[in-house]
Structure 1
């Protein structure tokens, strides 16, 4: 009983991959496009379970044959993309970034990218959005499912399989709900908290075929559920959690509705064509987006996104016809796949251990202490949904300066510590990664940020600082009308002096990358001050106006670290920013020394 090909599922793949690509290439155009991955999970659970149970029924199932087919399906295109990514990375990335890339490439080839990323993705690692292989976490989850689920189906009596899928779905969903609040990264990356999505697809294999009328209704409801997720979800929300049930249920209903009008539309050639290359397109789109940004030192915009989509589409079509399809049809491809994997892993290792050294002055400059050890991570700078209370983050000395903001505010701490060596004052560090110090957010509000910020205001009312410094990477599009409630709350808490500290210079691609790129192109060390890689000062100007309107003091970081458009790249041979926005120890010490008089520290 061979599983019949369903063109509507390829059409559904087209919808899923298009959503993911649009989400990445054109931020804001499809705010919930990331749930395309969840659609893929349900599809995979359905197809794999259908194949295995069909072969078990016919008594033709073989674990060796099954895994050989998985290798034939997954490995060829994956190794091509990994090899290309590492080759380009050798020319564009910093040594520490190459080290990270090498680890992630090997983990991806071993289908463990999700576990590797869980251990290293945080705000203080290399900018997660510039990791060329970040997207392969989902492939790891799928392959881990493929390793375990067929074994369970093979070992169980056939009549027990639906119960196993149901129990797996409920248990995994419950674990997801238990972890997503306090440990969102674990809920996002672990196979145990994502398995329920694949199990939802697996259950489709065991349900009876519904009536035509039921299919028509289910297909429409399913499509609406998926599209609603695409447009109403955002990457600021807690996910997966309970919210993921909406796109998963929608996909379940669509797959269940074979032959319905919606499914027939999905079976049209344009949808099927995109669906056929969806795997290669998924593999290619993210490294192309990352490398274009790194090479051009430009933040993502619509033009760059369009170029990336076109380039990734061309590469995916070529990969499908030249790599995927020919090797998928080979009857004895397991040795070929194993050889390709071994060669790929060896090549990755050989390439990355031969990274050319940078000249000593440049190496010393970009290797300067980053100051993160002073941030008091997990205690006074909270990450990833952590639920600290900042009880040990306030000193008793007076005057007391409270620093409230995101991780860029934490980067100020080394500078304040240095200043304390010559001046008597205390510090209260109240910082939460990725959370602006605002009680009201106009767009994409994070419930976690709103909760922690309310707690911080209560903490400020308890410790009664003499000065509160608000600092973040201010998103000027979100600030109008949102700062006043925060200022009002601080005044109500009795804070005598409120200072809005403007945004730090934003280095396109990161200052270390800019320094290396400048050397590779010119053979010279980057100038002490430059405008070449720095974004405009629009944020500084906007925040200055807002501060004036609210009657609070404004201190410009831009004026302290830049002369006109030229911003400081190094202090005494040490780089001033560790990435795009976070100051190093040297940068922090320089800044705080410059602005100390404006904060009342003479």
Structure 2
């Protein structure tokens, strides 16, 4: 997310309302990252920036093309002046703090993502590494650099395209941009439906947003709305952005069609020069924040990540990190960005090459040293290593969101040659229980079938996506399997509840009822305590800084408050139908606290949601007793 307005004209000639829009965008992102509940749609600030960037840069390029002053070398030289000076201090800060605070696994990933950030392709890297089981975003200090990658990939292709069309088919320029925008929108919507991670990070899915900004240049040049229409557009645009910030959320299918609301709202304000809502954005405090928005965007996320890692998720830590973000952004703007932007620092290519080379070399060294585990003592390394304490058969046995795993190919655990009499049917939350319980059943000469799929719990529903197809195939196979007598159902209920389109837990209860009517014994596992931090990292750092890992966890009352309604609903459904219910809180919690660590077992989670193999072991005695009584 860059800021090209500095290059459009001298500071006193810039449109103050655009700087105000930039301030709204960056403040929305910061508030969303710091206090998501206050502004659930604050992430659309990035989309506002994309539209602004497309408008400002296209305006500059068109003016240079019309005056026959356009130079690709000059364009990319300006991009370096704009992006590099503020970026590399943040990269250095992130790596230094990572060497102090990140686990070896997380530091290895930081080295990888920083390597790609240097090349402005971190968004493409995040497509590959942002899977269901990867470390939480709270351990990715450079996650926000994906937007820089999207912009720079767009601007690698856009200026030559604009030059070619302007020179050889000038009258088709704006229709060509409109067609490209529509194609990008189609791609984005297709990705949203079939690969949400790709939809979020891929430049083809985001190009429509920059092209909307580019098309606004044509509107301003040739349409020139009259003043009454500008007033209407000004307020409509302002309202669209405000509604986006308040109504959209992390569960909204995004970008795609939903991204049009903030993008078209921004476009309306761009063409509504002099509108009343635009004038509101010309307030001096907003203009000041807009001026330093690029640096503020760069600094806020690493400070939040490292602040929370070092000092916990306290509101005071969050507030301090935000205040520091503003302070460092002002310093960066005043003493780093401005000397490059106003030409006081003349060389461009060799400082950029030197900084990039140095940063890449550091990343390569850290990556090849596997995150420098020697930074930590052996007990701390053992806690960090719990991040790998998951089912080693995940790649072979676990169905990913965009894959398929027929019933006959699902994995079995237990006694060789024994037909599975027990199945675990779950989303990813059950993948670690399967081998642990299967091992115990094997000692009885029995076997278990593991049926787990990312983000796809057992359901009877009318879903038409991969999950719906998978569940219909599994239900038919289970009910037709005469050897399978018991089905254990479990899910990440809290995660599914965050999606307003999810039918959980009722769709799972419908599956339970259908299985019961087919003559199967059904066992439902209630919500497992889950955390908004990464337990292996938290425990390892706690030990390093002299705290007891046993003290980590949450109040039992907080878990009961978060999951009590779902648990009560499931119990009320299960009791009259003879369905057995197992409550993980009885295993992971005492009357006062839920824990992530036990001295005699180790860490009970490999991330904030999924029990580790050691944590899954807690279920075995109770489930074995239930299965002993199975018909």
TM-score normalized by structure 1? 0.87
CA contact (8 A) 1:570 1:587 kept: no
Pick the aligned partner of 1:223 from 234, 238, 246.
238
Shift of 1:40: 0.9
Q: Do 1:366 and 1:575's aligned partners in 2 also have CA atoms closer than 8 Å?
A: no
SS at match of 1:500: strand
1:471 to 468, 471, 490: 490
Give yes or no for the alignment of 1:29 onto 2:38.
yes
Partner deviation per Cα, 1:214-257 (whole Å, 9 max, x = no partner): 21112222222222222222211221122222222211111111
Q: Is residue 2:130 matched to residue 1:154? A: no
Is it true that 1:393 corresponds to 2:436 in the alignment?
A: no
- Secondary structure of the structure 2 residue equivalent to 1:21: helix
Per the TM alignment, residue 579 of structure 1 is displaced from its structure 2 partner at its CA by 2.2
Shift of the 38–477 alpha-carbon distance from structure 1 to 2, 3 Å rule, reads closer
Partner secondary structure for residue 181 of structure 1: helix
SS of aligned partner of 2:440: helix
Contact 2:539 2:552 in 1 (8 A): no
Matches within 5 A, 1:54-69: 54-69=63-78
Q: Does 1:409 align with 2:430?
A: yes
2:624 corresponds in structure 1 to 596
The verdict on how the C-alpha distance between 1:531 and 1:218 changes in structure 2, with shifts beyond 3 A counting, is: same
1:532 aligned onto 2:552: yes
Shift of 1:122: 0.7
Q: How far apart are 1:149 and its partner, in Å? A: 1.0
Whether the 8 Å CA contact 1:219–1:254 is kept in 2: the answer is yes
**1:345 pairs with 2:378:** no
Change in Cα spacing, 1:381 to 1:589, as seen in structure 2 (3 Å) is: farther
- Hey, what does 2:509 align to over in structure 1? 487
CA distance in 1, matches of 2:8, 2:602: 65
Unaligned runs of 5+ in 2: 1-6
Match of 2:259 among 226, 244, 250: 244
Residue of structure 2 equivalent to 1:549: 572
- Say yes or no: does 1:168 pair with 2:180: yes
* Cα RMSD (Å): 3.5
Residue equivalent to 1:444: none
Q: CA offsets per residue over residues 429-456 of structure 1, 9 Å max, x none?
A: 444434566779xxxxxx9799836963
CA distance in 2, matches of 1:84, 1:257: 40
Q: How does 1:326-337 map to 2 (within 5 A)?
A: 326-330=339-343, 332-334=346-348, 335-337=350-352
Q: Are positions 1:198 and 2:210 aligned together? A: yes
Which one has the bigger helix percentage?
2
The counterpart of 1:263, out of the listed 278, 289, 295, is: 278
- Please report how far the alpha carbon of residue 114 of structure 1 lies from its aligned counterpart in structure 2 after TM superposition: 0.2
Q: How is 1:37-48 mapped onto 2 (pairs within 5 angstroms)?
A: 37-48=46-57
Match for residue 26 of structure 2 among 17, 36, 42: 17
CA-to-aligned-CA distance 1:101-143 (integer Å, 9 cap, x gap):
0111121121111011111111211113431111111110001
Give, in whole Å, the separation in 2 of the partners of 1:415 and 1:145.
48
Greater shift, 116-125 or 330-339, is seen at 330-339
Partner of 1:443: none
Is the Cα–Cα contact under 8 Å of residues 31 and 234 in structure 1 kept in the other structure? yes
Residue in 2 aligned with 1:133?
Answer: 142
Q: Distance in 2 between matches of 1:315 and 1:16?
A: 18
User: In structure 2, do the counterparts of structure 1 residues 2 and 374 end up closer, same or farther at CA, with 3 Å as the change threshold?
Assistant: closer
1:89 aligns with 2:98: yes
Cα distance in 1 for residues equivalent to 2:28 and 2:594: 39
Deviation at 1:100, TM superposition (A): 0.4
439, 444, 450: which one pairs with 1:418?
Answer: 439
In structure 1, the residue matched to 2:374 is 356
Q: Distance in 1 between matches of 2:521 and 2:311?
A: 42
- For 1:237 and 1:448, the matched residues in 2 are separated by 17
- 8 Å CA contact 1:19, 1:34 repeated in 2: yes
Q: Secondary structure at the match of 1:205?
A: helix
Query: Does 1:559 pair with 2:572?
Result: no
Deviation at 1:347, TM superposition (A): 4.5
Shift of 1:188: 1.7
1:345 Cα deviation after fit = 3.4
Counterpart contact for 1:439–1:454, Cα < 8 Å: no
Flag structure 1 segments of 5+ consecutive residues without an equivalent.
441-446
Over 3 Å counting, the alpha-carbon distance change for 1:31 and 1:509 in structure 2 is closer
Deviation of 1:414 after TM superposition, in Å, equals 2.4
Instruction: Tell me how far apart the structure 2 counterparts of residues 498 and 118 of structure 1 sit (CA, whole Å).
Output: 38
Instruction: State the Cα distance separating 1:174 from its structure 2 match.
Output: 2.1
Q: Find the aligned partners of 1:84 and 1:448 in 2 and give their Cα distance.
A: 46
Change beyond 3 A, Cα 1:532–1:63 = same
CA 1:596 to 1:38, structure 2 compared with 1: closer, same or farther past 3 Å? same
CA distance in 2, matches of 1:307, 1:199: 37
Distance 2:166 2:469 in 1: 54
Q: Indicate yes or no: 2:540 matched with 1:521.
A: no
Out of 300, 308, 315, the residue aligned to residue 328 of structure 2 is: 315
Does the C-alpha gap of structure 1 residues 461 and 387 become closer, same or farther in structure 2, counting only changes over 3 Å? closer
Question: In structure 2, how many angstroms separate the alpha carbons of the residues matched to 1:325 and 1:144?
Answer: 25
Change (3 A) 1:568 1:39: closer
| Count of residue pairs brought into register by the alignment | 588
Out of 71, 74, 85, the residue aligned to residue 76 of structure 1 is 85
Task: Check conservation: 2:596, 2:605, Cα contact below 8 A.
Answer: no
Residue pair 1:512, 1:575 contacting (<8 A) in 2 also: yes
Answer whether contact 1:371 1:414 (CA < 8 A) is retained: no
Is contact 2:309–2:538 with CA below 8 Å preserved after alignment? no
Give me the whole-angstrom Cα distance separating, in 2, the residues matched to 1:518 and 1:218: 53
Relative distance call for 1:221 and 1:432 in structure 2 (3 A) is: farther
Write the deviation string for residues 174-215 of structure 1: whole angstroms up to 9, x where unpaired: 222232211222222111221111111111222222211221
Equivalence for 2:4: none
CA separation in 1, counterparts of 2:469 and 2:164?
Answer: 52
SS in 2 for 1:382: coil
